[in-house]
Amino acid sequence: MKELHMSEELICHNYNPDRPYVAISSTDGKSIDQPLGKAESLLIYQAGPPCPEPVEKRDIPLPSKGLGRWMQLGTALLDCQWLLVPTIGEAAFKILVNKGIMVYIIEGAITDALGLIATGGNLNTMARPEILARTTRGQEPGIRCTSSVCGGGGRGCYES
């Protein structure tokens, strides 16, 4: 199983033509500002050369009991190499990362994030400070759930 936190090895985001898209959770089409657990759709962008461009607004599975929603979402995003969200629960994070999707918990302008992806820049520069600073004993800095038991109940584990 992959290590499930945002670290230097996840920053390498070379363009993969088999997974050319970026999925973004947004309420206004301009900012990365919609918690994944509250999203009903994601904006999909073409990430590759020559420049990022919008592809579609993709409906995603609605909330359900258990992990089914996140497993369905992982399948629906198999053409996406990246998912950019301001908050995500640990269950969703684990499932999506294990589906090969690079999940970044960031906020800010969509154009800024797409620009970093297009140029191979570091998306961690857009990370929420409390996400990068959060650590627990024996762990590297990065994304960690603040609860000892997380059922992914849409409570927004990473919200401050």
Axis-axis angle for helices 90-98, 68-76 (nearest 10): 40
CA dist 139 and 142 (Å) reads: 8
Residue 50 confidence (pLDDT): 66
pLDDT-derived band at 57 (thresholds 50, 70, 90) equals very high
> Per-residue pLDDT for 70 more than 90?
yes
Arithmetic mean of pLDDT over the chain: 77
DSSP 87: -
> Per-residue pLDDT for 9 more than 60?
no
Chain centroid, CA 124 distance in Å: 12
> Per-residue pLDDT for 35 more than 50?
yes
> Per-residue pLDDT for 144 more than 60?
no
Q: Where is 43: in which H helix or E strand? A: strand 41-46
CA dist 98 and 121 (Å) reads: 23
Task: Report the DSSP pairing between strands 41-46 and 102-105.
Answer: unpaired
Residue 64 confidence (pLDDT): 77
Task: Please answer whether residues 89 and 105 qualify as being in contact, where contact means their C-beta atoms are separated by less than 8 angstroms.
Answer: no
Q: Where is 71: in which H helix or E strand? A: helix 68-76
